[in-house]
C-alpha cells in the first residue's frame, strides 16, 4: 500500500496543489495504475518548504517531489508507484548538484526537529483515523487517568512557555487558574495570528487540528473547565473549516462533548471568528471580542487566569503551545525538557520569509542560532546578495544585524538586545532593504492596528509615522533621532498593552543597529538601499550592461531605452523608481544614487 | 494596610487603586479619563506613578493599579515627570483648540515639541469618558468609531442618533470641552440633533429636554419632572410646613 501525500497548505494551494491532488485522485480511481499496487492519495497540511511547492511525498518509499504539476501525475504513477523508480527531474537538487530522494536528506529538513508540527504534512487533517493512527488522543486518554495535579506537574516539568511571544510558563498559568474555586472556567485558544509574514499557527490549525483540540481538552481537565473557545482570525478560512470539521468528528466519536471518552467529563468547544483586528491577538482584547465588546485591551494588573472571560478564571494559550501539550503528556515533561536551552525548553516553529533562498515553515530546537536558521535551513540569501538584517517577532519585534547572527534564538537572549523571538515570524532582508523604510512600514501598520484607546500608543505612533515619513522623503532632521528614542521610551513605559509597549521596537532597534542609514537619509538625502523613492534615482552602468533587455521588459512604464546588445539607459523623467529593473538585471548593472531634492 | 505616597503614610484597603488613595489624602495626580462616576479606564495614561515594591521600581497607571501589599509610591519622580511630560506634549497636539488641555500642559510643564504635528481644530483627547457616561445611562448614542490613529467618537454613521436624548452628560464629563452644545431659549442642539427644552413650571429655568425627562421617568417609573430641582425642594418644604407648621427657634 502506497500513500501519496499532496501538500495542501496555503502556499502549495496557491501554487495549484489542488489540481495535482484532483489529478491523482482521478487517475487512481480510474485504476490506471497497475492493479497489483494499491495506493491512496492524501491531501495533507503544510510540508514546510513552501518555496518549492506543490510538494508531493510518496510513502513508504520516502520520495519527495517538488514543483509538481498535474501533467507530472501520470509519470509519478507509472514510475514511482508502479515501478519503484524515482522521477529524477522532480527531486530536490542540492547545491552540489546531487539529486535528493527523501525529505530528511534535504538540507531544509535535515536540521529540523518536529514536535508541534509532528503531524503537519503527514496526516490528512480531515481524517480522525489518521490522527488516531499517529498516536492521536492517546495523551487525552492518559490524562483522564491522571489527577489534575499530575497533569500540572508534568506541564511544569516540561518547561513549556507560551509560544505566542510572551513566553509565560504554561504550567504555572494552568496551576494558577486551577487554584481558583470559581466556576465556570474557560480555556481559550488564541488563533489570531496577525504578524505580517507569520503562518505558524495557521499551518497547525489547517494541518493538524486535532492536536490543538487535544491540548485544549487536557488543559480543561487540569483546570476544571467545561467550555472552550478557539478564536481564529477572519482571514484563516481554511483553518476555521479544518477546526470545525475536527470538532464535529471528535464530538461524534465521543472524544469531546458531554462525555469525554466515557469519563463523564465534559468539554464543549466552539469557534469564534475574529473581526480582522490585529490587536485582538492581545489576550484581554481577544476576550473582550469573544464577549461581544469592542476589542480593546484592559490593564492586566489582575490576570486573566483569575478574571478572564466574563470575569471567570480563563486559560488562554496560543495554538502552537496547545499543539505541544499532547506530546508532553504522552512522552512526559522530562523528555520535552531534554530539547532546547536552560530557560527555553522544547522547539519553536518559525515562518521564514523574505530574501532567503528556501522560504517556509520550520521547527527547530530552542537555542538554534539565527545563522543556522537562515543559512543552514534557509540556504542563505537569494541571488548571492549579502545578508543585512532579520526582522523577528513581527511589529513588536526588532531588526537584528549580521553581528548578532550567532545568538541563540530563545525567549530571553534576543530580548537583551532589544529584539524578541516573538511568535515566530522571521523576515530576512538583504542589502536592498532600507531599514528606515522597514521601521516606517511597521509603524504605519500599527497606526492602523492599534486599538486607539491609550494616548502613548495612539498619539505616539501617529507622530512617529510623521517623523519617519519625513526622513524617508528627505525632510528629516538630525534631532529627530533623539526625539524618536524619547517617544519610544514613553510608549514602552506608559502604554496600556503589549502592542503599545512593543510598538517602538522596530524603530528603536533599527536606530540602534542601523543609525548610519538614518543619518544618510537625513544628512545626505540618500537612501543607501535605494528603496526610498523620493531620495533615489536609478541608472545603468554602461560598462556592466550587456544589453540583454531584461530591465526594459521589466519596466512597467517603459522608462528604459536601448537596443539589444547595446547598453541601456533610464529616462529619469519617466522612471517611477520601483526598482523592477534592478531586480531583473543579472549583471548588477543597475545602480542607485541620491537625488537632487531641489 | 498602609502605603506611602511621596513619603506621606496613607491608610488604605487592599485592592484600592493608588489614585483613590492619593485623592483621599489630598495628593494630586493629574487625570483626564477618570471621573468619580466612572473610575478606572486606564486610557489617558496621565496618572502614571512610580511604585517601589520589594525593592523594584516600576511605572504603573494609578487609576487601575490595585494595592495588594505595602509599597512606596512616587507621583513626581524624575521618570514620571519625563513620561507624563511626553504624554502631555502629545495631547497638546491632539487637542490644540482645547483651552482646558493647554492649561493642563502649562500646569505640568509639558514640553512644547514643535516637531509634532498638531491636529487642526481638535479638542478631543479620546479619553472615552463621554462614551462611558452615555453607556452607563443606558442610552448608548455615541461610541468609539474605527481604530488606531483614526479612532474617533461619533454617533452611528455620523448621523443624528435616534437614541440620543440630548441630556448633555457627554459634554458635562468631557475634560476638554470637546463636545459642542448649543443652548437657545427653547432648544438645545447636540450631536447634530435639535431638542426642545422643558422649563420649570414655577421659575421657568431649563430642566432638560423632553426626551431626557421621558427617559428618566421611564427608568424611575414616575411621572416626568415638571419642576427644577430647587423648586421641587421648595415645594416639598412648603408641604412640610403645611403639615408641621412654622418652626420657631
Task: List, for residues A178-218, the tens digit of each pLDDT value.
Answer: 999 999 999 999 999 988 889 999 999 999 999 999 999 99
Q: CATH 3.30.70.20 occupies which residues in chain A?
A: 536-593
Give this prediction's pTM: 0.92
Both B115 and B213 in a single domain?
no
| Interface size, chain A vs chain B, as Cβ–Cβ contacts under 8 Å | 112
Q: Which of A462, A469, A480, A483 to mutate to test the interface with B (most CBs of B within 10 A)?
A: A462
**Chain A residue with Cα closest to B61:** A494
Residues B47 and B80 in one domain: yes
Mark which of B122, B145, B171 sits at the end of a domain.
B122
Q: What's the domain count of chain B?
A: 2
- For residues A547 and A565, give the distance between their C-alpha atoms in angstroms, rounded to a whole number: 4
- For residue B248, what pLDDT is reported? 67
Last-in-domain residue among B102, B122, B142: B122
Predicted confidence at residue A442, as pLDDT, reads 95
Report the pLDDT value the prediction gives residue B243, as an integer from 0 to 100. Answer: 86
Domain for residue B138, yes or no? yes
Cα separation, A221 vs A508, whole angstroms = 43
Q: What is the pLDDT of residue A597?
A: 67
- The percentage of chain A sitting over the pLDDT mark of 90, rounded to a whole number, equals 85
Q: Is B58's pLDDT higher than 80?
A: yes
Decide if B45 and A455 are in contact by the 8 Å CB cutoff. Answer: yes
Nearest CB to B90 within list A460, A465, A477: A460
Q: Does the beta carbon of A501 lie under 8 angstroms from any beta carbon of chain B?
A: no
What is the residue range of B29's domain? 1-122
Q: Is residue B86 part of a domain?
A: yes
pLDDT in tens, B167-194: 999 999 999 999 999 999 899 999 999 9
pLDDT tens digits, A526-569: 999 999 999 999 999 999 999 999 999 999 999 999 889 999 99
Q: How many CB atoms lie within 10 A of CB B1?
A: 13
Least Cα separation, residue A465 to chain B (angstroms): 10
Interface residue B65 vs chain A (CB under 8 A): yes
Q: Residue A357: what pLDDT?
A: 94
Report the distance separating Cα A152 and Cα A221, nearest Å: 10
**Do residues B143 and B76 share a domain?**
no
Query: Considering the domain boundaries, does residue B247 fall inside one?
Result: no
Q: What pLDDT sits at residue A39?
A: 84
Q: What is the pLDDT of residues A345-357, one digit of tens each?
A: 999 999 999 999 9
| Arithmetic mean of pLDDT over chain A | 93
Distance between CA atoms of residues A170 and A168, nearest Å: 6
B147: chain A residues, CB-CB within 8 Å: 277, 279, 448-452
Q: What is the pLDDT of residues B119-134, one digit of tens each?
A: 998 999 999 999 999 9
Residue limits of CATH 3.10.20.600 in chain A: 347-430
Residue B22 predicted with pLDDT over 80? yes
Contact A456 B87 (CB under 8 A): yes
Boundary of a domain, candidates B122, B142, B176: B122
Residues of B in contact with A479 (CB under 8 A): 115
User: Which residue among B42, B83, B91 places its CB closest to the CB of A459?
Assistant: B91
Of A253, A243, A194, the residue nearest A216 (C-alpha): A243
- Residue B248, domain member (yes or no): no
**B135 and B233 fall within a common domain:** yes
* Span A12-56, pLDDT tens digits: 999 999 999 999 999 888 865 555 678 889 999 999 999 898 999
* Residue B175 domain-assigned (yes or no): yes
The verdict on B133 and B224 lying in the same domain is yes
CB A490 to CB B86 under 8 A? yes
Give burial (CB, 10 Å; 0-12/13-18/19+) of A557: exposed
Average pLDDT of the residues in B189-214: 94
Count of helix runs (H) and strand runs (E) in chain A: 25, 19
Q: Do B149 and A279 touch (CB under 8 A)?
A: no
pLDDT of residue B115: 95
Q: Does residue B161 share a domain with residue B73?
A: no
Segment A110-154, tens digit of pLDDT: 999 999 999 999 999 999 999 999 999 999 999 999 999 999 999
- CATH classification of the domain holding B108: 3.10.20.740
| CATH class of the domain whose range is A435-523 | mainly alpha
- A496 near B CB under 8 A: yes
Nearest Cα of chain A lies from the Cα of B113 at a distance, in angstroms, of: 9
The distance of A182 to chain B (nearest Cα, Å) reads 19
- Mean pLDDT within A477-481: 96
Inspect the interface and report whether the beta carbons of A279 and B147 lie closer than 8 Å.
yes
Pair B1, B116 in one domain? yes
Residue identified by cell 522571521 is A426
CATH ID of A128-337, from 3.90.850.10, 3.40.50.11540, 1.10.357.10, 3.40.50.720: 3.40.50.11540
Chain A hits for B60, Cβ within 8 Å: 301
pLDDT at A460 over 90: yes
Cβ contact, residue pair B117, A466, below 8 Å: yes
Say how far apart CA A208 and CA A202 lie, in whole Å.
10
Torsion sign over Cα A239, A242, A248, A251: negative
**B249 located within any domain:** no
User: Residue B143 above 60 pLDDT?
Assistant: yes
Q: Does A237 touch chain B (CB under 8 A)?
A: no
Nearest to residue A267, comparing CAs of A281, A279, A257, A255?
A: A257
- Chain A residues lying within 8 Å of B83, measured CB to CB: 489-490, 493-494
The residue to which cell 548571492 is assigned: A384
How much is the pLDDT for B175? Answer: 94
The answer as to CATH 3.40.30.10 being correct for domain A2-106 is: yes
With 70 as the cut, is the pLDDT of residue B83 above it? Answer: yes
Nearest to A329 by CA among A175, A139, A148, A147: A139
Q: What is the largest CA-CA distance in chain B?
A: 71
Tell me if A495 and B45 make a contact (CB, 8 A cut-off). yes
pLDDT at A33: 55
Say whether pLDDT at A57 is over 60: yes
Strands (DSSP E) contained in B6-138 are 8-11, 48-53, 56-61, 72-74
- Tell me the angle at which helices A200-207 and A237-252 cross, rounded to the nearest 10 degrees: 40
Residues B44 and B74 in one domain: yes
Q: Which of B149, B156, B176 to mutate: most A Cβ within 10 Å?
A: B149
Q: pLDDT category, A594, cuts 50, 70, 90?
A: confident
Whether B92 and B20 map to the same domain: the answer is yes
Q: Which residue of A has its CA nearest to B90?
A: A459
- Mean pLDDT of the region A464-469: 97
User: Which string of b and e fits B139-171 if b means at least 16 CB within 10 Å?
Assistant: bebbbbeebbbebebbbeeeeebeebbbbbbbb
Residue A285 contacts B, CB cutoff 8 Å: no
Nearest to A39 by CA among A6, A7, A72, A87: A6
Q: How far is A463 from chain B (nearest CA, A)?
A: 6
Whether the CB of B69 is below 8 Å from some CB of chain A: the reply is no
The pLDDT assigned to A28 comes to 87
In CATH terms, the fold of domain A347-430 is Ubiquitin-like (UB roll) (3.10.20)
Whether residue B13 lies inside any domain: the answer is yes
Helix (H, G, I), strand (E, B) or coil at A506: helix
* Interhelix angle A455-472/A515-523, nearest 10 degrees: 60
Contact A260, A267 (CB under 8 A): yes
H or E element at residue B109: none
For A360-416, write each residue's pLDDT tens digit.
999 999 999 999 999 999 999 998 899 999 999 888 889 999 999 999 999 999 888
Per-residue model confidence as pLDDT tens digits over A305-330: 999 999 999 999 999 999 999 999 99
Within chain A, which residue ranges are assigned CATH 1.20.1440.230?
A: 435-523
- Strands A425-430 and A347-354, sheet pairing: parallel
ipTM of this predicted structure: 0.91
Which residue from B minimizes the CA distance to A480?
B115
Q: Tally Cβ neighbours within 10 Å of residue A70.
A: 18
CB spacing of B115 vs A467 below 8 angstroms: yes
A536-593: which CATH architecture? 2-Layer Sandwich (3.30)
At residue A489, does pLDDT exceed 90? yes
Amino acid at each position: 500500500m502506497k500513500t501519496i501525500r499532496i501538500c495542501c497548505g496555503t502556499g502549495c494551494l496557491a501554487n495549484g496543489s489542488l489540481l495535482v491532488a484532483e489529478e491523482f485522485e482521478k487517475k487512481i480511481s480510474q485504476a490506471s495504475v497497475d492493479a497489483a499496487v494499491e495506493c491512496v492519495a492524501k491531501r495533507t497540511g503544510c510540508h514546510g518548504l513552501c518555496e518549492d511547492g506543490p510538494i508531493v511525498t510518496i510513502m513508504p518509499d520516502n520520495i519527495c517531489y517538488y514543483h509538481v504539476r498535474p501533467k507530472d501525475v501520470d509519470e509519478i504513477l507509472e514510475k514511482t508507484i508502479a515501478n519503484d523508480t524515482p522521477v529524477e527531474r522532480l527531486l530536490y537538487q542540492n547545491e552540489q548538484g546531487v539529486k535528493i530522494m527523501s525529505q530528511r536528506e534535504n538540507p531544509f529538513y535535515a536540521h529540523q526537529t518536529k514536535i508541534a508540527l509532528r503531524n503537519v504534512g503527514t496526516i490528512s487533517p480531515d481524517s480522525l483515523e489518521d490522527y488516531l493512527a499517529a498516536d492521536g488522543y492517546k495523551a487525552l486518554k492518559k490524562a483522564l487517568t491522571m489527577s489534575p495535579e499530575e497533569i500540572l506537574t508534568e506541564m511544569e516539568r516540561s518547561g513549556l512557555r507560551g509560544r505566542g511571544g510572551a513566553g509565560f510558563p504554561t504550567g504555572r498559568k494552568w496551576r494558577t487558574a486551577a487554584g481558583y474555586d470559581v466556576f465556570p472556567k474557560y480555556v481559550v485558544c488564541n488563533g489570531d495570528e496577525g504578524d505580517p509574514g507569520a503562518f505558524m499557527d495557521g499551518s497547525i490549525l489547517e494541518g493538524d487540528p486535532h492536536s490543538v483540540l487535544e491540548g485544549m481538552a487536557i488543559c480543561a481537565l487540569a483546570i476544571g473547565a467545561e467550555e472552550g473557545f478557539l478564536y481564529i482570525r477572519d482571514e484563516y478560512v481554511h483553518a476555521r473549516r479544518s477546526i470545525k470539521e475536527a470538532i464535529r468528528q471528535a464530538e461524534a466519536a465521543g472524544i469531546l462533548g458531554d462525555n469525554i471518552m466515557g469519563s463523564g467529563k465534559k468539554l464543549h468547544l466552539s469557534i469564534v471568528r475574529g473581526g480582522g483586528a490585529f490587536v485582538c491577538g492581545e489576550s484581554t482584547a481577544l476576550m473582550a471580542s469573544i464577549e461581544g465588546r469592542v476589542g480593546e485591551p484592559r490593564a492586566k494588573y489582575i490576570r486573566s487566569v483569575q478574571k478572564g472571560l466574563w470575569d471567570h478564571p480563563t486559560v488562554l494559550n496560543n495554538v502552537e503551545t496547545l499543539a505541544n501539550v499532547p506530546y508532553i503528556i504522552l512522552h512526559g515533561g522530562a523528555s520535552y525538557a531534554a530539547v532546547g536551552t536552560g530557560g527555553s525548553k522544547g522547539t519553536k516553529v518559525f515562518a521564514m520569509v523574505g530574501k532567503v533562498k528556501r522560504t517556509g515553515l520550520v521547527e527547530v530546537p530552542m537555542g538554534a542560532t539565527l545563522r543556522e536558521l537562515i543559512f543552514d535551513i534557509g540556504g542563505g540569501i537569494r541571488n548571492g546578495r549579502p545578508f543585512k538584517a532579520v526582522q523577528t517577532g513581527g511589529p513588536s519585534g526588532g531588526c537584528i544585524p549580521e553581528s548578532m547572527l550567532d545568538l541563540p534564538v530563545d525567549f530571553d537572549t534576543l530580548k537583551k538586545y532589544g529584539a524578541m523571538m516573538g511568535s515566530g515570524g522571521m523576515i530576512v532582508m538583504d542589502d536592498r532593504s532600507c531599514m528606515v523604510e522597514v521601521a516606517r512600514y511597521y509603524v504605519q501598520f500599527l497606526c492602523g492596528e492599534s486599538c486607539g484607546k491609550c494616548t502613548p500608543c495612539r498619539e505616539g505612533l501617529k507622530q512617529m509615522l510623521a517623523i519617519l515619513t519625513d526622513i524617508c522623503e528627505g525632510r528629516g532632521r538630525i534631532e529627530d533621532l533623539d526625539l524618536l528614542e524619547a517617544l519610544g521610551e514613553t510608549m514602552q513605559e506608559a502604554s496600556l498593552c503589549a502592542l503599545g509597549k512593543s510598538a517602538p521596537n522596530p524603530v528603536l532597534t533599527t536606530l540602534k543597529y542601523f543609525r548610519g542609514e538614518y543619518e544618510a537619509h537625513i544628512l545626505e538625502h540618500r537612501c543607501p538601499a535605494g528603496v526610498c523613492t523620493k531620495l533615489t534615482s536609478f541608472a545603468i552602468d554602461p560598462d556592466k550592461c550587456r544589453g540583454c533587455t531584461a530591465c526594459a521588459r521589466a519596466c512597467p512604464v517603459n522608462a528604459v531605452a536601448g537596443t539589444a546588445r547595446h547598453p541601456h539607459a533610464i529616462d529619469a523623467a519617466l522612471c517611477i523608481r520601483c526598482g523592477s529593473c534592478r531586480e531583473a538585471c543579472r549583471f548588477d548593472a543597475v545602480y542607485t544614487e541620491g537625488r537632487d531634492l531641489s | 494596610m498602609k502605603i506611602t505616597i511621596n513619603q506621606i503614610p496613607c491608610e488604605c484597603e487592599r485592592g484600592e487603586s493608588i489614585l483613590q488613595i492619593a485623592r483621599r489624602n489630598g495628593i494630586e495626580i493629574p487625570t483626564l479619563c477618570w471621573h468619580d462616576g466612572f473610575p478606572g479606564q486606564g486610557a489617558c495614561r496621565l496618572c502614571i506613578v512610580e511604585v517601589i515594591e520589594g525593592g523594584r521600581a516600576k511605572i504603573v497607571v494609578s487609576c487601575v493599579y490595585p494595592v495588594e501589599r505595602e509599597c512606596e509610591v512616587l507621583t513626581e519622580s524624575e521618570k514620571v515627570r519625563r513620561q507624563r511630560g511626553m504624554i502631555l506634549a502629545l495631547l497638546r497636539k491632539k487637542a490644540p483648540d482645547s483651552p482646558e488641555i493647554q492649561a493642563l500642559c502649562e500646569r505640568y510643564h509639558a514640553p512644547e515639541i514643535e516637531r509634532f504635528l498638531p491636529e487642526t481644530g481638535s479638542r478631543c483627547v479620546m479619553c472615552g469618558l463621554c462614551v462611558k457616561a452615555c453607556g452607563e445611562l443606558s442610552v448608548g448614542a455615541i461610541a468609539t468609531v474605527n481604530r488606531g490613529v483614526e479612532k474617533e467618537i461619533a454617533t452611528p454613521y455620523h448621523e443624528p442618533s435616534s437614541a440620543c436624548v440630548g441630556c448633555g452628560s457627554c459634554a458635562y464629563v468631557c475634560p476638554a470641552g470637546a463636545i459642542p452644545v448649543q443652548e437657545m431659549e427653547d432648544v438645545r442642539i447636540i450631536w447634530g440633533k435639535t431638542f426642545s427644552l422643558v422649563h420649570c413650571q414655577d421659575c421657568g429655568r431649563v430642566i432638560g429636554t423632553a426626551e431626557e425627562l421621558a427617559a428618566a421617568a421611564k427608568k424611575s417609573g414616575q411621572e416626568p419632572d415638571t419642576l427644577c430641582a430647587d423648586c421641587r425642594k421648595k415645594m416639598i418644604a412648603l408641604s412640610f410646613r403645611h403639615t408641621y407648621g412654622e418652626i420657631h427657634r
